[in-house]
Amino acid sequence: MRTTVRAATTLALLATCLPAMAMAATATLTRAWQYKTDATAGLAIRNLIGDIRVERGTDAGFHITATATIEAGTQGEADTLAHAIDYRTRDIGAGSRFDVAFPKEQFPKIYYARGPGGWWSAMYVEYLGHRIRLTGDPDEAPKVRVDLLIRAPAGAKLDVSNVFGESVAQGYSGELRLDGSSGALRSMGGEGRLLLDNGSGDVEVTGHNGRVSADTGSGSVTINDCSCEIDADTGSGSVVVRGGSGVLRADTGSGKVSVEGFSGAIAADTGSGSVRARGVSNVTELDVDTGSGGVSVDGDLTAMKRLHVDTGSGSVRLESAGAPSMEIVIDTGSGHVNVNAPGATVKESKDGSWTVKLHDGSGSGIIDTGSGGVDIVVAAD
């Protein structure tokens, strides 16, 4: 592995916020690495704090530029700490790694804006096999960040973990995994296999072609204009899909699922949130399950062959520009059933369920609600 160093230490005396406060000094150190390993064998990158940008490179290897910024009480301390950051590199094919490490001797604590502000409380993060103590008091620890610019060739395999900070990919081609804790994860204009896993931050993908897996604990997931097989999972945030085509599978604990202008099969599962789909088309399969939220789907549903909608207490409304060929069995606990579909055959059975036959009924559908009503509206074919 060839390593080049471009170091630039700069002094920046910051204006004081209060007359009694001591002035701080800033040191910046930039370094660059080039990996010659086969890009398809993969590279794993680990960073604790800072922002990461991933771009498509123009040659065969990986290129990494790291810019460390330290803010400390004196210029000497800032310079020393900037040089103390340990960049651990390994260039051995499938085991290639790049880790940004902070030796405990020089960094017993690290400042984190959301960390605890008092001496009586403590916050730790597990990183590279060690516990690192974080503080929200800038007087207790230096402010440190390492921003990474990563360039990878087309078809590369890259695994990036960034604990505190945003990670953004632009035009990536290959297999990319972005892992974060609270900062946003974003990808634009990429292709291939994309995996985004976040603790509590948002996830956003725009203009991707391939397969996308997006997972966040409490943030939202937004997918725009993708030709993808999409798996979106969030604990309490919403899932929003705008435009694009392919296959959508969305799962949220208490957030809503919103789909607009998507073309393809849709599966959505929410604990208590609603499912709303507008202007959809080519929906060969529609599978929706909500605990207490309503379901509303409109667009061109003529391609639908399989339908399953189950809601605990929400209502269901399906509105299509034309009738699919399908037989739908409807069961509601206490809600109404309203079918407005020219040429449809509607029958009510003794057990209170309804059967709706559209065209020759070659497809199959089930709608089950605990207490909500069901409306099916089909324009004249």
Residue 313, number of CB atoms within 10 A of its CB: 17
Express each pLDDT in 313-360 by its tens digit. Answer: 999 999 999 999 999 999 998 889 999 999 999 999 988 899 999 999
Both tokens of 30, joined, read 């930039």
- The owner of tokens 């993708």 is 226
Q: What per-residue confidence (pLDDT) applies to 23? A: 52
Query: Which residues touch 353 (CB under 8 Å, ≥6 apart)?
Result: 329, 330, 331
Q: What per-residue confidence (pLDDT) applies to 352? A: 87
Helix or strand holding residue 26 (H, E) = strand 25-35
Least confident interval from 118-127, 128-137, 219-228, 344-353: 118-127
Strand order in the sheet with 123-127: 109-111, 130-135, 123-127
- How far apart CA 153 and CA 130 sit, in angstroms, is 32
Residue 381, number of CB atoms within 10 A of its CB: 12
Express each pLDDT in 79-102 by its tens digit. Answer: 999 999 999 999 988 889 999 999
- 40-60 mean pLDDT: 94
Mean pLDDT of the chain: 92
Q: Does position 246 have pLDDT exceeding 60, yes or no?
A: yes
Query: Which residues touch 10 (CB under 8 Å, ≥6 apart)?
Result: 26, 27, 28
Q: What per-residue confidence (pLDDT) applies to 142? A: 93
Q: What per-residue confidence (pLDDT) applies to 20? A: 35
Q: What per-residue confidence (pLDDT) applies to 347? A: 95
- How far apart CA 95 and CA 324 sit, in angstroms, is 52
- Residue 8: band (very low, low, confident or very high) from pLDDT cuts 50, 70, 90: very low
Q: What per-residue confidence (pLDDT) applies to 14? A: 33
Both tokens of 171, joined, read 């035009």
Closest CA to 237 of 200, 280, 286: 200
Q: What per-residue confidence (pLDDT) applies to 17? A: 37
Express each pLDDT in 257-289 by its tens digit. Answer: 999 999 999 999 999 999 999 999 999 999 999
Q: Does position 148 have pLDDT exceeding 50, yes or no?
A: yes
Least confident interval from 6-20, 30-44, 54-68: 6-20
Q: Could you give the percent of the chain with pLDDT greater than 90? A: 84
Q: Does position 78 have pLDDT exceeding 90, yes or no?
A: yes
- Residue 119: band (very low, low, confident or very high) from pLDDT cuts 50, 70, 90: low
- 26-32 mean pLDDT: 98
Q: Does position 2 have pLDDT exceeding 60, yes or no?
A: no
- For the purposes of burial, counting CB atoms within 10 Å of the CB of 254, is it exposed (0-12), middle (13-18) or buried (19 or more)? middle
- Residue 7: band (very low, low, confident or very high) from pLDDT cuts 50, 70, 90: very low
Q: What per-residue confidence (pLDDT) applies to 348? A: 92
State the alpha helices, DSSP H only, in the chain. Answer: 75-84
Q: Output the pTM of the full model.
A: 0.90
